Structure 1
Amino acid sequence: MAKNAADLANPTRKNGNHKNGATKPGLRFGRYFTPEGSHAYDLIEWERRTAAITGEKGQLIFEQKDVEVPRSWSQLAINVVAQKYFRGGAGTPERETSVRQLIDRVVETLKKWGLEGAYFATDEDAQNWAEELRFLLVTQHASFNSPVWFNLGVPGRSQQGSACFINSVQDSMESILELVKTEGMLFKFGSGTGTNLSVLRSSREQLSGGGTASGPVSFMKGYDSFAGSIKSGGTTRRAAKMVILNADHPDIRDFIHSKADEEKKAWALIEAGYNVGFNVPGGAYDSVQFQNANHSVRVTDEFMQAV
């Protein structure tokens, strides 16, 4: 075997839509990293290892034995892939036990969609594309985002592959609550969300029916709580969220100080004896707001020039 699998490949790239000067419908793919007619996995040395993750006190949080992995992979990579991305209930026959199964699940799903959508010129082009992609993934030259590994090819799951969604909201209670549902379902399947809340009236404005508006910072508490409650992709990873407010919004000072104010509360709880760790039920940071989102201020060119 050559030192590098690319040494075995045909040195002439065949990618492109032209062959013998004629334009063909669909994409054409040749081999670059893998030899013609070969399977990407045949170029890899495989072994079986135990994936295990322990907590701060050494307690076993996750373990899966006899996991088939490339010999070149680090133990950290194996632990993350087995815990986060392998599908199927632990200890059941449906549980994935090999990196081959994980990669095949995703690649074969994408290839199937490509064939159904007539993206490839021929079945051979589709197979070449799939083997090249397998090689890039199994050698860690490239990787998909988490939603792809969580969802693609898994029966009964939304085939949601995008990592981040930008959602809008209107200044009405119906829209504010609809955003809760939208974000929750996106979090469920492993994606993150971002929303600019500047359209919401400030806490200094009067409501038509009497009283004062809650303001965006108040509603952010609810959004943040749902993000912390929903495990992204059905795993132990928290949801990823971004909240934006324009620099000229009347509540911008409250928005800027919101995280720092909650941090002071967390330290007061820590001094009172609460657990200092993150993601600890009942701990200091589990008891305060705004731990699940990035807060960003949107500024204009005029603002930056002025300051």
Structure 2
Amino acid sequence: MGNVYESKKLTGLSEKIFLDRYALKNADTSHAKVGDTVLVLTKDDPKFPAKEVGEIISREGNTVKVRTRSGETVESAVEKLTLNMEKTPEEMWDRLAGAMASVEKTAEKRQEWTEKFRYILNDWKLVPGGRIAAGADASDELTLFNCYVIPSPKDSRGGIMNTLTEMTEIMSRGGGVGINLSSLRPRRSVVKGVNGSSSGAVSWGGLFSYTTGLIEQGGSRRGALMLMINDWHPDLEDFITVKSTMGQITNANLSVCVSNGFMKAVKEDLEWELVFPDTTDPEYNELWDGNLDAWKKLGKAVKPYRTVRARDVWHSIIESAWKSAEPGVVFLEYYNQMSNSWYFNPIICTNPCGKVA
């Protein structure tokens, strides 16, 4: 469809974000040529790269020179460029309108609805989610959903690796992931099968965090991860303070899932028991999924680990949030009481987009 709309040129940070996150790209940068608009690395740091928008002014072999919008000339290897096929929002809106209308069965209907969608997209009247903007009609492997919550890991090496694989697949396709770690047995608890002890839920959270830092979501940004733990878990205090130790969990947002009972204990200055299911139960591996209430309703044993003062835990949350802006708190029991899908599936976690701090 020809573009009959007035061009809305982006500048500065707006242009950089658009080109980096949403514009259609050519992953094969060997096709880069003089005159192409690109993002060039000015700081080649795997964790915190810096990019600038510019135009290729010369190329010799695999080496290019890029004049940035600020007037600097940067020399770069071709493989370090981000090669943009779309340079303006209008080009993106054309692509999105066509993708939205593509389900229509006739060419006439596709044309009609392309024009209707294109009108409502123009000038940001309708702004689709970021993953729709980046992925629609760009690749069949990219997700058009921004964020996911995946089931809590099964409390086994294989279960944890399965969760890691699922998280990695979602993130590599552009989606963020939320995981509740409460299904994992606490630190130093017995792992009978290998005659050893567990490193705990927080340490496995570190694995998910580390992997998140390695992934470029949809090729343009670091993965987004939300980790949560329930207020009854014996590793609760370690989880609350984990970000006070540099390097343990650095690529995830953290939140504590708070129950009505815990808040009552805080208000009344009561003690609070940290517990976990009896892992020696013969049906533990089959039935345990992180839902403590469901476990209790089955008549299964729960092992007390220790008792803490609820207000001490609450003050620890406040102090840690003051120091590092984390953890947040999520009133998960209240969520479920208010949820209109309570009869279908309990809410166990939020995704990274749904954080409540």
State the one-letter code of the partner of 2:216: K
Q: Which runs of 5+ in 1 are unaligned?
A: 1-38, 47-69, 263-287
- 5 Å matches for 1:204-283? 204-209=188-193, 210-235=195-220, 237-262=221-246
Does structure 2 retain, via aligned residues, the 8 Å contact 1:203–1:215?
A: yes
C-alpha deviation, 1:301, in angstroms: 1.4
Please tell me whether residue 145 in structure 1 is matched to residue 129 in structure 2: yes
Q: Aligned to 1:243, what secondary structure does the other structure show? A: strand
Please tell me whether residue 76 in structure 1 is matched to residue 13 in structure 2: yes
C-alpha deviation, 1:231, in angstroms: 1.0
Q: Aligned to 2:174, what secondary structure does the other structure show? A: coil
1:107 and 1:305 map into 2 onto residues whose CA distance is 51
2:114 and 2:257 map into 1 onto residues whose CA distance is 42
- 5 Å matches for 1:83-98? 83-86=20-23, 87-89=25-27, 90=29, 91=32, 95-98=85-88
1:260 and 1:214 map into 2 onto residues whose CA distance is 18
1:112 and 1:128 map into 2 onto residues whose CA distance is 11
Does structure 2 retain, via aligned residues, the 8 Å contact 1:147–1:189?
A: no
Q: Which runs of 5+ in 2 are unaligned?
A: 37-83, 267-357
2:95 and 2:165 map into 1 onto residues whose CA distance is 29
Q: Deviations over 1:98-152 (max 9, x none)?
A: 4333222222122113x25x9xxx955x655443432343312332222222222
Does structure 1 retain, via aligned residues, the 8 Å contact 2:100–2:117?
A: no
Deviates more, 1:126-135 or 1:164-173: 126-135
Q: Aligned to 1:297, what secondary structure does the other structure show? A: strand
Does structure 1 retain, via aligned residues, the 8 Å contact 2:176–2:225?
A: yes
Please tell me whether residue 294 in structure 1 is matched to residue 253 in structure 2: yes
C-alpha deviation, 1:289, in angstroms: 3.0
Residue of 185, 193, 203 corresponding to 2:169: 185
Q: Give the equivalent residue in structure 2 for 1:45.
A: 6
1:261 and 1:45 map into 2 onto residues whose CA distance is 52
1:109 and 1:40 map into 2 onto residues whose CA distance is 15
Q: Aligned to 1:195, what secondary structure does the other structure show? A: strand
Query: What is the aligned-residue RMSD (CA, Å)?
Result: 2.6
Residue of 139, 143, 147 corresponding to 1:164: 147
2:183 and 2:174 map into 1 onto residues whose CA distance is 27
C-alpha deviation, 1:204, in angstroms: 3.3
Q: Aligned to 2:264, what secondary structure does the other structure show? A: helix
- 5 Å matches for 1:61-72? 70-71=8-9
- Relative contact order (C-alpha < 8 Å, sep 6+): which is higher? 2
2:142 and 2:214 map into 1 onto residues whose CA distance is 22
Q: Aligned to 1:108, what secondary structure does the other structure show? A: helix
C-alpha deviation, 1:74, in angstroms: 4.7
1:163 and 1:88 map into 2 onto residues whose CA distance is 22
Please tell me whether residue 100 in structure 1 is matched to residue 84 in structure 2: no
Tell me: CA distance 1:159–1:110, structure 2 relative to 1, closer, same or farther (3 Å): farther
1:292 and 1:138 map into 2 onto residues whose CA distance is 35
Please tell me whether residue 195 in structure 1 is matched to residue 179 in structure 2: yes
2:142 and 2:21 map into 1 onto residues whose CA distance is 17
Please tell me whether residue 112 in structure 1 is matched to residue 96 in structure 2: no
Does structure 1 retain, via aligned residues, the 8 Å contact 2:170–2:177?
A: yes
The structure carrying a bigger strand percent of its residues is 2
TM (norm. structure 1) is 0.62
Tell me: CA distance 1:41–1:77, structure 2 relative to 1, closer, same or farther (3 Å): farther
Q: Give the equivalent residue in structure 2 for 1:134.
A: 118
State the one-letter code of the partner of 2:89: V
Q: Deviations over 1:217-253 (max 9, x none)?
A: 1111111111001111101x21111001000000000
Aligned pair count reads 211
1:306 and 1:128 map into 2 onto residues whose CA distance is 61
C-alpha deviation, 1:215, in angstroms: 1.1
State the one-letter code of the partner of 1:82: L
C-alpha deviation, 1:190, in angstroms: 1.2
Tell me: CA distance 1:85–1:291, structure 2 relative to 1, closer, same or farther (3 Å): same
Q: Aligned to 2:118, what secondary structure does the other structure show? A: helix
TM (norm. structure 2) is 0.54
Does structure 1 retain, via aligned residues, the 8 Å contact 2:142–2:218?
A: no
Q: Deviations over 1:69-111 (max 9, x none)?
A: x14x454322221233222145269823443332222221221
Q: Aligned to 2:182, what secondary structure does the other structure show? A: coil
